[in-house]
Structure 1
Amino acid sequence: MTEREFLELWNKNRQQIVVSQMAPTFLLIVTVGLITLGLAGGPLFLSLATLGILLASGILGALVQYASATEAMAVAADLALVKSPSAASRQVVKFAPWLNVVRFVTPAIFTLIFLLLASILLMG
């Protein structure tokens, strides 16, 4: 592959990471808003359904983020082997280790928020 093709693949993965965060973030915001307004909770089956939706969306989002970040790291490794790389390629290679935040920290934060919301919905 050419340097340009690697950079295009890097950008595709970066875009997938951003898009994969939209649905889970939106659902978490809506759930917090409904709890704050006193509209969440209610019957146990409704709370369980809400948690199921949050969990499914979060798991799928985390899988896409993990896969995209891992692939982007591989692209960066390939870019590191390019002779006479552009400034953009050098920057991608320098930034690549930060993708571990996407792979590990973001899912951990989602898990903590999910557990907090679960405790509120099931006990509150």
Structure 2
Amino acid sequence: MTESELVNLWIKARWHVIVSQVAPTFLLTALVGFLALGLAGTAPSVRVAAAGVLLASGILGALVQINAANEALAVIADLRAGGSTSAVTLRIVSAAPWVNVVRFVTPAVFVVVYVALLIALFVR
């Protein structure tokens, strides 16, 4: 692959990471809002359904993020192997350690927030 094709793959992988965060972030925010409106006082089945929707969205979002990050790391490996010294390639290659934030930190934050929301939903 050419450097230009690899840079385009990097851009696509980065876009997938960004988009994959939209739905879980929206749902987490919405659930916090619904908690403020009294969701914790609704029937247990409604609370379980809300937790289930959030969990499913979070799992799917995390899988997409991890996969997009893995693809981005593969692109970085190919760019590194190509030996280019263009400024764009050097910037992309230097971003490699930060891709691990998407792979590990973001899903971990989701788990912590999810557990906190479960406590708010079910513990009184």
Task: Give the TM-score band, short-chain normalised.
Answer: over 0.9
Identity of paired residues, percent? 52
- Using the size of structure 1 for normalisation, the TM-score is 0.96
* Deviation readout 1:53-103 (Å, 9 max, x if unpaired): 000000000000000001101100110122333100011001111110000
Q: Displacement, 1:8?
A: 0.2
Specify every segment of 5 or more residues in structure 1 that has no aligned partner in the other structure, as ranges: none
Partner of 1:62 in structure 2? 62
- Using the size of structure 2 for normalisation, the TM-score is 0.96
Specify every segment of 5 or more residues in structure 2 that has no aligned partner in the other structure, as ranges: none
Q: Displacement, 1:41?
A: 4.0
| Contact 1:69/1:102 (<8 A) preserved | yes
Number of equivalences: 124
In 1: Cα distance, 2:58 partner to 2:52 partner: 10
* Deviation readout 1:26-56 (Å, 9 max, x if unpaired): 0000000111122444111000000000000
Partner of 1:121 in structure 2? 121
In 1: Cα distance, 2:7 partner to 2:30 partner: 35
| Contact 2:39/2:47 (<8 A) preserved | no
